[in-house]
Chains A and B, each alone.
Chain A
Amino acid sequence: MFRLDPNFSHQYKDLFLQITLNTLVGVDCLICFRSSQYLFKEFNPNLLAHKRAKGVFFVDPLTILLFGIIGFVVVVGIISVLIYNSLVSTLKQVENAWAQIDVQLKRRADLIPNLVETVKGYAKFEKGVLEGVTQARAAIMGAKSPKDSAKADNMLSGALKSLFAVAEAYPTLKANENFKALQEELSSTENKVAFARQFYNDMVMKWNTMILTFPNNLFAGMFGMNKEKEFFQVNDEERKAVKVDFSKM
């Protein structure tokens, strides 16, 4: 019934736990320090015997020091487990975010045949534009490397843009319910691809921040989880605006 959600605990539980554990570590260090101080500087066997004789509850400093060290090790152990778990769950979130981008890209590719069928009926529609879209989709399906699929992806965006630009000149096509629905679907899918990439970048930012901030940075190297991830970026040649070339149609 009172399941602790990872997002919620990130807000409240984390702060509460951090304060508690840091206080414990601080108190522990204080105990170790004071008891070792007593042990090495002020050690007075007569004082110890005197206090025991008085019947006051007295534990000798060596025991306190040992308990302090054990307590310190236990608390650090708990902290390292918590940090390890949060690192693992964030890493999985980053991987999931990357996979989600592909889901949206595939969805866009799947919508294309439907669009081509709807537009084909308008016989006067420029064949070249339709062919451009079909070819771009084929390129995506056949892409072998991430670089190829990024190029094909860009080609498809450009082809779709020119298709919708040309469709402006066909009022009957524009009014076609199917076409309007497809237009909304495709534009929504383009948005979803963009937002999926944005979410991936947000997760990468969260991960990079997590492995670099204190105290996680102390433990991340130990667990082999200190590699920063790359942001999804548009490289320079893709940044150039896609040219709509009507001469080739």
Chain B
Amino acid sequence: MPMDFYKQISDNKRMTYFLFLAFFVLIGVLAFLFSYLLGGFNIYGLSYFMIFGFLTIIFALVSYYTCDSIVTFVSGAKEAPQEQFKQLHNIIEEMCIAGGIKKPRVFVIDDTAINAFATGRDPEHSVVCVTTGSLTRLSRDELQGVIAHELSHIKNYDIRTMTIATVLVGVAVLLSDLILRFAFYSKGSSDSKDSKFFIILLVVAIILAALTPIIAELIKLSVSRKREFMADAGSAELTRNPLGLASALEKINKDKEPLEAANKATAHLYIADPLKGQKLFMASWFSTHPPIEERISALKGMK
């Protein structure tokens, strides 16, 4: 299908809405079970929830507003002056014209691995960072595809989306924790028919509460993967040359060297998983990025 990135973009947007709906359904079910089991709102549970829920939101807001400075500091990235990195700045300016967004601040990481990331709460406060390895090892078209992918992330407000997803995970985990703590205090009913149903519901609630941290994290990782596909399609929309990014991803795939500056906390921001097999959970469900082969074939299918 020629130039089919529009469909990919709208499909992934729709999937994001559904996944967020799944989040709210999960939290709603947990909240309902919580109030039902306790026969009403327990003041201890509620205040505990409100304090930690409030703290979660504060942490999320702080990280959201300072993400551009924090991540660059943690990764050891240095600002890239225009005189030294003329071609990189030119490529970024070209992509900003194609996307109609303001030019982000440009940083480089001194590492031979090929990787890049973008962060920032909106296009006015955004940062794009590229490794020096990418500058030497990628051709102009490939580098342009990578930059376009990062700028798509900024354009689509993906940092905002992932922050909201993180807060929702936090809220779901808090609620499930509450249910597990207060399960012992739940009041039964004197009626025998009611109490059987109550016990079944209690067991279901405990199982669900135990599994919620994993379920919520899986939903969040699924959102992350959908946004990666969307950024790939967005890159094709900006450059109108999906093969550029496809061959850059092929080069990244062949390279087994992990990026030293990355760690588990920042890994999800990069264009390809920088940890390359150092993680505990290697299954694709637990991955922040879709498998590279799938991304390459999706890009090639757009041509």
Interface residues of A (CB under 8 A from B): 5, 7-8, 11, 15, 93, 97, 100, 104, 181, 184-185, 188, 191-192, 195-196, 198-199, 202-203
Contact = CB atoms under 8 A, between A and B. Distances in A.
Q: Which residue, of B87, B99, B100, B122, has the highest number of chain A Cβ atoms within 10 A? A: B100
A19 B230 CA distance: 24
A11 B157 CA distance: 10
Interface residues of B, number: 20
Contacts of A203: 100
B87 A191 contact: no
A195 B90 CA distance: 12
Nearest to B89: A188
B78 interface: no
B303 interface: no
Contact of A198 (B86, B90, B98, B122): B98
Nearest to B155: A7
A5 B95 CA distance: 21
Contacts of B300: none
A184 B157 contact: no
Nearest to B61: A1
Contacts of B86: 181, 184
Contacts of A8: 122, 157, 160
A191 B17 CA distance: 36
Given A7-B155, A192-B94, 9 more contacts: A15-B17, A100-B97, A181-B86, A184-B86, A188-B91, A192-B93, A195-B98, A199-B98, A199-B100
Contacts of B240: 198
B97 A196 contact: yes
Interface string B56-95: 0000000000000000000000000000001100110111
A8 B13 CA distance: 13
12 contacts: A7-B155, A11-B157, A15-B17, A97-B100, A100-B97, A184-B87, A185-B90, A188-B91, A188-B94, A198-B98, A199-B97, A199-B98
